[in-house]
Amino acid sequence: MWFLVGLAILTANFRELLILFFIVLVHELGHGIAATHYNWRIKQVLLLPFGGVAEMEEHGNRPLKEELVVTLAGPLQHVWLGAGGFLLFKLGYLSVGMWELFFTFNVMIFLVNLLPIWPLDGGKIMGILFSRFSAFAGAHERTLKVSFVFLALFTATYLFIDPLHINVWIITVFLFFSLYTEWKQRHFLFMRFLMERYYGKNNSFSTITPIIVDEKEKIHQVLQKFKRDCKHNIIVMKGTTKQPPLDENELLHAYFKEKLTTIDIGDILYSY
């Protein structure tokens, strides 16, 4: 953002910068207000030339419905921004040039944020959809992999269309760095997801979903099957015989409290 401020000073494009800043600010306020409504913990808000990033201190244990609302709250602001700008133009408060500039920036930020690339809103929506049908760890990794593919396609397209577009390069570098950092930290984030479930912070499960496993499976393999937005009962199979179910808290207790990180799931069953 400071780079853009300096560029605006050098080129005397203060009007463009103010319009861009206003649209980005309203977009992020949409996320912030929705997150505050659900009592989410907001870590920081970064204002960027293509929308911004609202970072939350949440690690996958909020209901998917809440996350979808918080994610969509940003892009939805562009609807009333466009309508409001058009009304001001029709009433004579905005010149043709100002309205065209405002409309272009508003649509540009809206569309870029809907790209299926994490951490853009489109990438987060994609992650929510993956989480609806897959375990947390697998859904998170799949989201990042697909995001890398779409980022590569986005970059290749602009290399062909306009290879010297500086804003596109800024966006590309930021997204690549964000994806790379998230990929490197994915195991740490998975541990945060499990720890929040273990300590019962902000847990609100909509369903109870059984996980059927073989007694020889390792505890960390079973934990990899935990899904968002549902509590698990662990059904251990000894051959073709179902054993009494384990509650997910028993696994989490064994993993975090007793440090049994490599034990077979069957051994936990027999210890209770």
Q: Give yes or no: 28 in active site.
A: yes
Q: How far apart are CA 155 and CA 92, in angstroms?
A: 39
Of the candidates 84, 76, 104, 91, the one whose C-alpha atom is nearest the C-alpha of residue 20 is 104
Q: Pairing relation of β-strands 230-238 and 207-214?
A: parallel
Residue of 16, 28, 57, 258 marked catalytic: 28
| 39 CB-near residues (< 8 Å, 6+ apart) | none
Sign of CA dihedral 129, 133, 136, 138: negative
> 168-204: string of b/e by CB count within 10 Å (b at 16+)?
beebbebbbebbeebbeeeeeebeebbebbbeeebee
The CA-atom distances, in angstroms, between 69 and each of 31, 63, 109, 246 are 9, 10, 19, 33
Q: Report how far residue 89's alpha carbon sits from residue 85's, in angstroms, rounded to the nearest whole number.
A: 6
Q: What amino acid positions are annotated as catalytic residues?
A: 28
